[in-house]
C-alpha cells in the first residue's frame, strides 16, 4: 500500500527562493505544498503562487507537446509534432536566416529573470546576434550595470545575519517585497523580519505599503522626482560631514568633484521638486548616515523613469560615502559557490558595456550606452518599419510582451504581419504565443532537475517532482538547438545530465551527490576591498564615473523632470490631472502569469486601479465600479479600488492584465492593458528605461 511522503525542493514561482515541502498522496498526485521551516532563505514562508503551483502544472490548457501552426497566424489551429522535428525545424530556419541576412536578423527574447537565463544570453552571444530582448531596461539590470561601473560588483542587502550583525538602519527605495512575496531574489518575509529588527527605517514610496506603515520615516515623493531626494540626502551628509571619512579618503574616487557638484542640490530644492518636506529629507539623511550598519533595499519603483540610471548612481554614492559597502549588515558582495557556468565576475575595464558581448553597436536596436541588450521598443518598431533593418526571426522564451511591454498593439503587428519565423516557449498559449509558428512546452519548477543559484550566498537544488506530457526544460531545448546549428564547442554537453555534472565538477562531486543536499552555502567574506580594491577603472568606488565621462554623459547624477508631468507638459496636465504609476506587483500573480488559475484569480479577479477615496468621491466614482483610465495615448478599463494607501493626486493601475477565459488570439489583451497607455517617445537617455511609474492620466466612469 502506498502512503504519503514529502519531497523538498525550491520554488521558482517568482524571484523568491522559498524552499518548499511537496506532499505526495502516495497515488501519484501532489496533495499540497507548504513552506519549509528549516530553510534558511525563507524560514517556512510560502505565498499563494507557490502553494497553488499544482493548479498551473495540471491545468487543462497546459501545452504538453510541441505544436506547429496550421492555417494563418492567430487562427488557433495547431498540429502536434515531435521534439526531433521541432528542434530540426528551428535549427534549419534560424540557420537560413543567419546565412541569408546575418545573425542580427535573429532575436532571442526572454521574460524576467528565470532559470532559462543560464542559456538565453549565451545562445545569443554564440550566434553573434546583439538582439537579446528582455524587460531588463526597465527592471533591475539598470541597477546591475550601474553597480558594475561604479563599484565593480552588485551590492545586495545583508539581511540574513551572514556576518554576525543585522542592519540597524534600512532605507527602502520603491520596493514592496513585504506585500508581494519576493522581489530582487529576496524573500519578502525575510526583508520584513530585518526591517522589524532595525532601529531606524526609512521608506521612499508614494503608496502606504506595509513597509511604509511600519517605517519611522515615510517619504511620499511626487512620482519620478525621487532622485532629487537622494541628491539632497547626499548634500546633507556631505555638508554635515557625517560621511565615512576613512572610506571616502581611501576607497572612493572623485569626492571633491561630487562635493562641489552636490552643492546645488539642497533639501529645499528637493522639496520643491519632490514635495517631500526638507526637514524630513534631512532627518532621513541623518538617520541613514549615523545609524550603523545601514543598508539599502531597492526595487522597481526607481527603475522605470527617465532618471533610472542616475538614480542608481545616486544610490551607490549614498552607500559608498556612508561606508555601508561590504560590511556585515550593510550592502555586500556575495562570493559565488564556484560552480562552472556561473556568470564570470564582470570587468568593465576589459569587457565594455553590454550584457550581450560580440555586440556590433551599429547593428544593435536602440542607441543607449547602458541598455543591457536590444532596446525592446526600438526593436519592435524596427520589425515594422525596417529601420535600421528588419529582423526576420524571434524565439520568445517565457515572455508575454503583448501584455508586459509597452505598446502590445505594435508588438502584435510585428509578430502577426512582419516577422518571418516565430518560436515561443511557455506553459500556455498566451496572446503573444498565439502569434507563433511553433510553440514549445516548457517545464515548470516542479518538473525541473537543476541547480538554482538565484541567491548568491546560497545555492538550492530543484528536484523533478512530477512531469506532464512532453514538457522540457528551456535550457535543454536551447542546448539541443544550438548543437544542431553547429555550436557544439559552445554547448559541449551531450545531455542535460552532462551539463549539470559539468557544473558541479569544481566542487569535486557529481550532480547527483550535489543535489542530495537541498541548500549549499558560499563562504562569506567582508571588506575584500582592503586587499583587492574595487573592479573599476580607478580601482576605487567611482563617485565620479570615469566610464560615463568616456561615454560623454554626465559622470555625476543630475535631476531630470519626468517627460510627461505638470511641469514638462502643462497642456496635457490640464486634461490629465493625476500622477500615474503602473505595474506595482500583485501577490497573487507573476506579471501576466496565473490569471487562468482559479484559486489565484479568485483573490484578484478584475484588473484594479487604486485611487485615494477623496479623489474618487470628487469625481463621483464608487468603489468597485468599472472606470476608464486614459492618457493622450490610449484608454483602458479597470475596476476602481478606493484606498487610503494612495495619496491624493496619484493613481495606480495594475499591469499585465488579460482575460485567459476570453476567445483567442487576443484573449482580451487590449481591454485592460495598462501598457497601451504609454507611447514609444520617452526614455532614460542612458539605459532606455520607460516612464512606467511617472506619468499623467485621467479617470472617468466607464
Binding segment (CB under 6 A) for ligand MGD, from list 155-163, 174-182, 275-283, 410-418: 174-182
Using CB under 6 A as the binding rule, whether residue 629 contacts ligand SF4 is answered as no
Which CB atom, from 350 or from 598, has the smaller least distance to ligand SF4?
A: 598
Helix (H, G, I), strand (E, B) or coil at 698: strand
Binding segment (CB under 6 A) for ligand MGD, from list 240-248, 396-404, 460-468, 617-625: 396-404
Which CB atom, from 112 or from 274, has the smaller least distance to Mo ion?
A: 112
488-493 long-range contacts, Cβ below 8 Å, gap at least 24? 490/122, 490/126, 491/126
Using CB under 6 A as the binding rule, whether residue 455 contacts ligand SF4 is answered as no
269-308 residues in contact with ligand MGD (CB under 6 A) are 299-302, 304
Mark out the alpha helices in 425-489 (DSSP H runs).
Answer: 474-484
Residue 667 Ramachandran class (φ > 0 left, ψ -120 to 50 alpha, else beta): left
- Pick from 104, 14, 77, 25: which is nearest to 50 by CA? 14
- Pick from 649, 663, 656: which is nearest to 692 by CA? 656
23-62 residues in contact with ligand SF4 (CB under 6 A) are 46-47, 49-50
Where would I find the beta strands (DSSP E) of 533-679?
Answer: 541-542, 578-582, 608-611, 626-631, 634-642, 650-653
Residue 302, Cβ density class (10 Å: 0-12 exposed, 13-18 middle, ≥19 buried): buried
Run of H or E residues at 67: strand 67-70
Residue 439 Ramachandran class (φ > 0 left, ψ -120 to 50 alpha, else beta): beta
13 binds, among ligand SF4, Mo ion, ligand MGD, none (CB under 5 to 8 A by kind): ligand SF4
As a whole number of angstroms, the distance between CA 237 and CA 215 comes to 21
Using CB under 6 A as the binding rule, whether residue 666 contacts ligand MGD is answered as no
Strands 106-110 and 200-204: unpaired
Which CB atom, from 129 or from 694, has the smaller least distance to ligand MGD?
A: 694
Which CB atom, from 462 or from 520, has the smaller least distance to ligand MGD?
A: 462
Cα end-to-end distance, the chain, whole Å: 59
Using CB under 6 A as the binding rule, whether residue 313 contacts ligand MGD is answered as no
Using CB under 6 A as the binding rule, whether residue 16 contacts ligand SF4 is answered as yes
Among 8, 9, 13, 184, binds ligand SF4 (CB under 6 A): 13
Helix (H, G, I), strand (E, B) or coil at 377: helix
As a whole number of angstroms, the distance between CA 311 and CA 691 comes to 13
Among 121, 147, 501, 592, binds ligand MGD (CB under 6 A): 592
Using CB under 6 A as the binding rule, whether residue 585 contacts ligand SF4 is answered as no
Say what angle helices 117-127 and 474-484 make with each other, to 10 degrees: 20
655 binds, among ligand SF4, Mo ion, ligand MGD, none (CB under 5 to 8 A by kind): ligand MGD
Closest contact distance (angstroms) between CB of 677 and ligand MGD is 8
157-216 residues in contact with ligand SF4 (CB under 6 A) are 181-182
134-153 residues in contact with Mo ion (CB under 5 A) are 139
Say what angle helices 227-239 and 308-321 make with each other, to 10 degrees: 20
Which CB atom, from 43 or from 538, has the smaller least distance to ligand SF4?
A: 43
CB 589 within 8 A of CB 595: yes
19-58 residues in contact with ligand MGD (CB under 6 A) are none
Strands 67-70 and 438-441: antiparallel
Which CB atom, from 89 or from 429, has the smaller least distance to ligand MGD?
A: 429
Using CB under 5 A as the binding rule, whether residue 586 contacts Mo ion is answered as no
Using CB under 5 A as the binding rule, whether residue 117 contacts Mo ion is answered as no
Which CB atom, from 156 or from 699, has the smaller least distance to ligand SF4?
A: 156
As a whole number of angstroms, the distance between CA 509 and CA 130 comes to 36
Residue nearest to ligand SF4 (CB): 50
Using CB under 6 A as the binding rule, whether residue 21 contacts ligand SF4 is answered as no
Closest contact distance (angstroms) between CB of 32 and ligand MGD is 20
Using CB under 5 A as the binding rule, whether residue 14 contacts Mo ion is answered as no
Binding mask 91-120 for ligand MGD (x = CB under 6 A): --------------------xx-xxx----
315 binds, among ligand SF4, Mo ion, ligand MGD, none (CB under 5 to 8 A by kind): none
466-485 residues in contact with ligand MGD (CB under 6 A) are 474
Using CB under 6 A as the binding rule, whether residue 11 contacts ligand SF4 is answered as yes
Residue nearest to Mo ion (CB): 139
- Residue 278 burial (CB count, 10 A): 17
Half-sphere exposure of 489 (CA within 13 A, CB side): 2
CB 76 within 8 A of CB 434: yes
Which CB atom, from 393 or from 441, has the smaller least distance to ligand MGD?
A: 441
As a whole number of angstroms, the distance between CA 675 and CA 591 comes to 12
453 binds, among Mo ion, ligand MGD, ligand SF4, none (CB under 5 to 8 A by kind): none
Closest contact distance (angstroms) between CB of 187 and ligand MGD is 11
Using CB under 5 A as the binding rule, whether residue 459 contacts Mo ion is answered as no
Using CB under 6 A as the binding rule, whether residue 423 contacts ligand MGD is answered as no
User: In the β-sheet with 77-80, what is the strand arrangement from edge to edge?
Assistant: 77-80, 67-70, 438-441, 421-426, 393-397, 106-110, 132-133
Q: Is the peptide bond before 665 cis (omega within 30 degrees of 0)?
A: yes
As a whole number of angstroms, the distance between CA 239 and CA 259 comes to 9
592 binds, among Mo ion, ligand SF4, ligand MGD, none (CB under 5 to 8 A by kind): ligand MGD
- Taken as a whole, the chain contains a residue count of 702
User: In the β-sheet with 450-452, what is the strand arrangement from edge to edge?
Assistant: 450-452, 458-462, 519-521
CB 20 within 8 A of CB 463: no
DSSP state of 687: T
Which CB atom, from 190 or from 237, has the smaller least distance to ligand SF4?
A: 190
Using CB under 5 A as the binding rule, whether residue 112 contacts Mo ion is answered as yes
Binding mask 139-168 for ligand MGD (x = CB under 6 A): xx----------------------------
1-20 residues in contact with ligand MGD (CB under 6 A) are 14-15
238-297 residues in contact with ligand SF4 (CB under 6 A) are none
- Pick from 48, 18, 8: which is nearest to 455 by CA? 18
Using CB under 6 A as the binding rule, whether residue 452 contacts ligand MGD is answered as no
- Pick from 311, 318, 23, 335: which is nearest to 162 by CA? 335
CB 328 within 8 A of CB 158: yes
As a whole number of angstroms, the distance between CA 481 and CA 84 comes to 10
Binding mask 215-244 for ligand MGD (x = CB under 6 A): ------x-xx-x------------------
11 binds, among ligand MGD, ligand SF4, Mo ion, none (CB under 5 to 8 A by kind): ligand SF4
Beta carbons within 8 Å of 657's beta carbon, 6+ residues apart:
403, 592, 595, 607, 638, 672, 673, 674
Which CB atom, from 236 or from 654, has the smaller least distance to ligand MGD?
A: 654
Closest contact distance (angstroms) between CB of 135 and Mo ion is 6
- Residue 661 burial (CB count, 10 A): 10
Binding site for ligand SF4 (CB under 6 A): 11, 13-14, 16, 18, 46-47, 49-50, 181-182
- For Mo ion, the binding residues (CB under 5 A) are 112, 139
Residues that bind ligand MGD (CB under 6 A): 14-15, 111-112, 114-116, 135, 138-140, 173-177, 180-183, 204-207, 209, 221, 223-224, 226, 299-302, 304, 397-401, 404, 425-428, 430, 442, 474, 581-587, 589-593, 655-656, 674-675, 692-694
Amino acid at each position: 500500500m502506498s502512503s504519503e511522503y514529502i519531497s523538498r525542493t525550491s520554488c521558482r514561482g517568482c524571484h523568491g527562493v522559498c524552499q518548499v515541502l511537496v506532499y505526495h498522496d502516495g497515488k501519484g498526485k501532489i496533495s499540497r505544498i507548504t513552506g519549509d521551516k528549516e530553510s534558511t532563505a525563507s524560514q517556512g514562508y510560502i505565498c499563494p503562487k507557490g502553494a497553488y503551483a499544482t493548479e498551473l502544472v495540471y491545468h487543462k490548457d497546459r501545452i504538453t507537446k510541441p505544436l506547429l501552426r496550421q492555417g494563418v497566424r492567430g487562427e488557433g489551429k495547431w498540429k502536434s509534432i515531435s521534439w526531433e522535428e521541432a528542434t530540426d525545424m528551428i535549427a534549419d530556419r534560424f540557420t537560413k536566416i543567419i546565412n541569408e541576412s546575418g545573425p542580427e536578423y535573429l532575436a532571442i527574447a526572454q521574460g524576467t529573470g528565470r532559470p532559462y537565463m543560464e542559456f538565453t544570453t549565451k545562445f545569443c552571444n554564440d550566434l553573434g546576434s546583439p538582439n537579446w530582448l528582455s524587460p531588463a531596461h526597465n527592471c533591475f539590470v539598470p541597477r546591475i550595470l550601474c553597480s558594475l561601473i561604479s563599484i565593480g560588483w552588485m551590492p545586495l542587502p545583508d539581511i540574513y545575519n551572514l556576518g554576525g550583525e543585522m542592519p540597524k538602519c534600512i532605507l527602502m527605495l520603491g520596493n514592496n517585497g513585504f506585500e508581494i512575496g519576493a522581489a530582487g531574489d529576496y524573500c519578502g518575509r525575510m526583508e520584513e523580519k530585518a526591517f522589524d529588527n532595525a532601529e531606524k527605517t526609512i521608506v521612499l514610496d508614494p503608496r502606504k505599503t506595509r513597509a511604509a506603515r511600519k517605517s519611522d520615516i515615510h517619504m511620499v515623493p511626487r512620482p519620478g522626482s525621487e532622485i532629487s531626494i537622494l541628491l539632497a540626502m547626499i548634500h546633507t551628509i556631505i555638508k554635515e560631514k557625517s560621511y565615512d571619512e576613512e572610506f571616502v579618503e581611501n576607497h572612493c574616487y572623485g569626492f571633491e568633484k561630487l562635493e562641489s557638484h552636490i552643492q546645488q542640490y539642497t533639501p529645499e530644492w528637493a522639496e520643491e521638486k519632490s514635495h517631500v518636506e526638507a526637514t524630513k529629507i534631512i532627518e532621513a539623511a541623518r538617520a541613514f548616515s549615523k545609524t550603523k550598519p545601514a543598508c539599502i533595499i531597492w526595487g522597481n519603483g526607481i527603475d522605470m523613469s527617465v532618471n533610472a540610471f542616475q538614480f542608481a548612481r545616486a544610490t551607490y554614492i549614498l552607500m559608498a560615502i556612508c561606508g555601508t559597502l561590504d560590511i556585515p549588515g550593510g550592502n555586500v558582495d556575495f562570493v559565488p559557490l564556484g560552480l562552472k557556468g556561473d556568470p564570470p565576475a564582470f570587468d568593465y575595464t576589459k569587457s565594455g558595456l553590454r550584457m550581450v558581448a560580440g555586440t556590433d553597436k551599429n547593428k544593435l536596436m536602440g542607441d543607449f550606452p547602458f541598455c543591457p541588450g536590444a532596446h525592446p521598443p526600438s526593436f519592435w518598431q524596427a520589425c515594422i518599419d525596417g529601420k535600421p533593418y528588419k529582423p526576420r526571426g524571434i524565439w520568445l522564451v517565457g515572455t508575454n510582451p503583448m501584455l508586459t511591454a509597452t505598446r502590445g498593439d505594435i508588438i502584435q503587428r510585428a509578430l502577426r504581419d512582419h516577422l518571418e519565423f516565430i518560436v515561443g516557449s511557455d506553459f500556455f498559449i498566451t496572446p503573444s504565443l498565439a502569434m507563433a509558428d511553433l510553440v514549445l512546452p516548457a517545464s515548470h519548477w516542479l518538473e525541473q532537475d537543476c541547480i538554482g543559484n538565484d541567491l548568491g550566498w546560497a545555492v538550492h537544488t530543484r528536484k523533478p517532482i512530477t512531469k506532464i506530457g512532453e514538457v522540457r526544460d528551456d535550457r535543454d531545448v536551447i542546448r539541443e538547438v544550438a548543437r544542431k546549428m553547429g555550436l557544439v564547442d559552445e554547448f559541449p554537453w551531450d545531455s542535460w545530465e552532462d551539463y549539470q555534472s559539468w557544473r558541479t565538477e569544481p566542487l569535486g562531486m557529481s550532480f547527483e551527490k550535489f543535489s542530495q543536499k537541498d541548500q549549499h552555502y558560499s563562504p562569506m567574506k567582508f571588506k575584500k576591498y582592503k586587499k583587492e580594491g574595487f573592479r573599476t577603472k580607478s580601482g576605487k568606488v567611482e563617485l565620479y564615473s570615469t566610464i560615463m565621462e568616456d561615454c560623454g554623459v554626465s559622470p555625476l547624477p543630475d535631476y531630470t523632470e519626468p517627460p510627461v508631468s505638470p511641469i514638462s507638459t502643462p497642456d496635457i496636465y490640464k486634461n490629465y490631472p493625476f500622477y500615474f504609476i503602473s505595474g506595482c506587483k500583485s501577490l497573487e500573480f507573476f506579471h501576466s502569469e496565473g490569471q487562468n488559475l482559479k484559486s489565484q484569480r479568485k483573490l484578484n479577479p478584475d484588473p484594479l486601479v487604486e485611487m485615494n477615496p477623496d479623489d474618487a468621491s470628487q469625481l463621483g466614482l464608487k468603489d468597485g465600479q468599472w472606470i476608464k483610465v486614459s492618457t493622450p495615448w490610449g484608454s483602458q478599463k479597470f475596476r476602481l479600488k478606493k484606498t487610503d494607501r494612495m495619496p491624493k493626486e496619484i493613481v495606480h493601475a495594475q499591469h499585465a492584465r488579460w482575460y485567459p477565459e476570453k476567445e483567442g488570439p487576443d484573449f482580451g489583451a487590449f481591454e485592460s492593458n495598462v501598457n497601451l497607455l504609454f507611447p514609444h517617445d520617452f526614455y532614460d537617455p542612458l539605459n532606455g528605461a520607460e516612464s512606467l511609474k511617472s506619468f499623467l492620466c485621467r479617470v472617468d466612469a466607464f
